[in-house]
Amino acid sequence: MQNSEVKIIHNKEVAPGYFLLGLSWTPKRVRPGQFVMLRVSDGLDPLLRRPFGIYRVMPGQRGVELLYQVVGKGTRILAAKRPGESLGVLGPLGNGFPKPGKGKKIIMAAGGMGIVPLYPLINELKDGLLLFGARGKAGTKVIKDFKKLKCRIRIATEDGSAGQAGLVTDLLREEVTPDAVVYACGPPGMLKAVSVIAEQADAPCWVSLERSMACGIGVCLGCAVKTRTHEEEAENRLYKMVCSDGPVFSSGDMDWDAI
């Protein structure tokens, strides 16, 4: 983990409301699924850093890129940043995705910005099926980079304007088999459904949870999630921190009714 002041290489809008941020930051090792905490302002507003998934390492190890959506004050400030300006970066943080095991059918399910941690995973594994869900055709523009990778892509949109009409979980039901391993990231409701589908198919499933974080290192306890546990285990094992114990968890360990 490094705490650094780094320069912005680029910060370009790649789809309406979606930006690709390039940083001149070269950590020694980045695992797919890890994230960083960014300080987006030099002042006290906003005071806390914001978590962002690491999208990819730039060619030639020139830095890393973060893909983000403008959704609040912090990301609006970030979207206004220009090349040459500096940002405070803490990372890489989190555990990242485990490898699938030999001979496994690799299925990745993403909803919306949940595609961010799956890009470096597909890029590393050089294999896999990506199932992507969005509300409409406009939301599918963020997966254009995936079309350059060695993976098959299926799309579901809620309004039927692109791909198959329906939800990404509809696609997963069609594709999952006992010899598959499922990786997923997206809204809690989607991840709960993915977990149920994978469990019914007897397929292992790893989920990357999205949570608001204040510290990113497990100190503030602001991103605690409840897990399933045995009665003989200590009470404090019921809860884990998304930032330091995750953000990737086995879906079967999660208490989805409490998330």
Show pLDDT as tens, one digit a residue, over the chain (259 residues). 788 899 999 999 998 899 999 999 988 889 999 999 999 887 767 778 889 999 999 877 689 999 999 998 899 999 999 999 999 999 999 999 999 988 899 999 999 999 999 999 999 999 999 999 999 998 898 898 998 887 899 999 999 999 999 999 999 999 999 999 999 999 999 999 999 999 999 999 999 999 888 899 999 888 999 998 655 455 546 889 999 999 999 999 999 998 8
Same domain, yes or no, for 89 and 110?
no
Same domain, yes or no, for 67 and 115?
no
CB 83 within 8 A of CB 46: no
C-alpha span between 113 and 111 (Å, rounded): 6
CB 184 within 8 A of CB 110: yes
Q: Which domain holds residue 227?
A: 105-258
Same domain, yes or no, for 22 and 116?
no
99 part of a folded domain: no
100 part of a folded domain: no
Same domain, yes or no, for 65 and 147?
no
Taking the whole predicted model, whether its pTM rises above 0.95 is answered as: no
33 part of a folded domain: yes
Q: What share of the chain is helix, strand, coil (3-state, %, to 5)?
A: 25, 35, 40
- Domain boundary (38, 60, 93) is at 93
Same domain, yes or no, for 49 and 127?
no
Same domain, yes or no, for 212 and 115?
yes
40 part of a folded domain: yes
Give the total number of structural domains in the chain.
2
